[in-house]
Structure 1
Amino acid sequence: MLVLHGLLGSSRNWLSTGRDLAKHYHVFALDARNHGKSPHVPEMDYDVMVADIIAWMDGQGLARAAICGHSMGGKTAMLLACRHPERVERLVVVDIAPKDYFWVAHRGEFLAMTELDLGSLTSRSEAELRFEARVTNLGMRKFLSTNLTQDDAGTWRWLINLPALTAALPVMEKNCLTAADRYAGPTLFVLGGRSRYAEPGDHAIIRHHFPAAQIEVIADSGHNPHMDAREEFVRLVSGTI
């Protein structure tokens, strides 16, 4: 199973859930381009991310795999399944739908990161305080700060390619599927009941593109059901498809 993280995340977000899934699958958690330890490049859209996954699979000698993607990773996974169904054993999409998004909050988060003076920064906790004017949610401020790292000289820098991701944000929010895109293979959507990323009104468009889709809603979860309800998430992913 290949696990694809969300925007501004990394494979590290899946360490605990990945270990649980590893009881059922041989799990590879990958860093998307411009995230984590992957290369920084100017091109950033879903087509190139799908090409990255196919190239990685080819390099590993993997003809097929189960693909599990969260948020941005879920959009990548959906496009991969529709355009390269022969490479996808089964598809798991986590709290995202095949539709356009526009989140004002994302603009505030990216502004907060862009405005951060790394030269005067002394700690991640200080960064979280500086984010507060634009990012009201404490959990999100902590999440953003996970993308900061120090070099050997003690200088802070971004792990993510912040300029490329900022420029690509409108593309990342758009639906990457066309009306003709279909994947008929086994598909599971795991959605958070407290999340606004995928709602009951989206079920019809999900089934338009993924006619075999099983849609499961974890009532007490937000946008991160793999973290908010890890045991239930792992049960669903490992036992229902």
Structure 2
Amino acid sequence: MQLNYKINGQGETVFLIHGLFGSLSNFGLLHQVLSHHYRVISIDVRNHGESPHHPSMAYEDMADDVLALAKLLGVKNFSLVGHSMGGKIAMMVTLKAPEKVDKLVVADMSPVNYEPRHQGVFAGLQAVAESDIKTRSEAQQYLANHVEEVGVQQFLLKSLYRFKDKMIWRYNLPALVNGYADIIAWPDTDQKFNGPTLFIKGQLSDYIIDDYWPHGRRYFPNAKIKMIMGTGHWLHAEKPVIFNKLVNDFLHATS
């Protein structure tokens, strides 16, 4: 499928890949910063934003989406920055086509299987989908019954839009629900990427812990890790200046 994308800048190509329930706007600030020196391509992952819908959420398939877009745009080599689920997609792209990848940045994600942790979010999204809401404020009230954090509510509401006389999600919600087991999993592979790799961890997040780090080094032997203090899983939104500098410095240092 052809993913929806936004492209700016000139130079070496960098793909930015958002996480679950996100869209290409999530990396808006980083896109702007990097576009001064790179050709930056932000994408909507399948079943998100304005990209096509498909029943599969397997990482092999989502990696193929990125590789197909690179081919369509005539990009032979590129770097990747991915957050959360987008980090797993970026890792899978790298392992499937290591000869095409220059550098890899993974934001707060490990190549491991996780336990389910989004039940409340799915319940909130489903409640909104089954309602006849007319406004975002009404949608937020439904979400609040299942999602306590106001910041998460507001993040989810970015993917709500008006269609005719009601508000609906841009997500392919059935595909995300049915594919959730694939989303939290990691498909084992014998492939490795020996190129420059940077993992960036949020100090308060448990997506990268000591027990997971050997798995990261297994697939990415030359990986390094940086930690942003006082941040959780949404480190690029909580401390964008520090996060963007880490990414920019890493891409420059390994050029």
Q: Tell me the TM-score normalised to structure 2 length.
A: 0.89
SS at match of 1:201: coil
Partner of 2:218: 208
What corresponds to 1:87 in structure 2? 100
Identity among equivalent positions (%) equals 34
Could you report, residue by residue, the CA deviation over 1:189-217 in whole angstroms, capped at 9, with x for unpaired residues? 11111111112332222111111101001
Q: Distance in 2 between matches of 1:216 and 1:103?
A: 26
Counterpart code for 2:185: K
The aligned runs of 1:72-221 (5 Å cut-off) are: 72-104=85-117, 106-117=118-129, 120-151=132-163, 153-178=164-189, 180-221=190-231
Runs (4+) of structure 1 moved beyond 4 Å?
none
Counterpart CA distance in 2 for 1:234 and 1:25 is 14
- Measured in 2, the distance between the counterparts of 1:57 and 1:16 equals 22
In structure 2, C-alpha distance between the alignment counterparts of 1:159 and 1:91, rounded to whole Å: 28
Number of the residue aligned with 2:32: 19
After alignment, is 12-21 or 52-61 more displaced?
12-21
Q: Which residue in the other structure is 2:67 paired with?
A: 54
Q: 1:171: how far off? A: 0.8
Aligned residues: 238
Secondary structure at 1:27 match in 2: strand
Identify the structure with the greater helix proportion: 1
In the alignment, is residue 235 of structure 1 matched against residue 238 of structure 2?
A: no
Name which of 5, 15, 36 aligns with 1:2. 15
Deviations 1:174-195 (A, max 9, x none): 01333x2311111011111111
Aligned residue for 2:174, secondary structure, equals helix
What amino acid maps onto 2:229 in structure 1? A
Name the CA distance, whole Å, in 1 between partners of 2:155 and 2:25: 12
What's the counterpart of residue 5 of structure 2?
Answer: none
Partner of 2:52: 39
Q: How far apart, CA to CA, are the structure 2 residues paired with 1:134 and 1:52? A: 32
Query: TM-score normalized by structure 1?
Result: 0.94
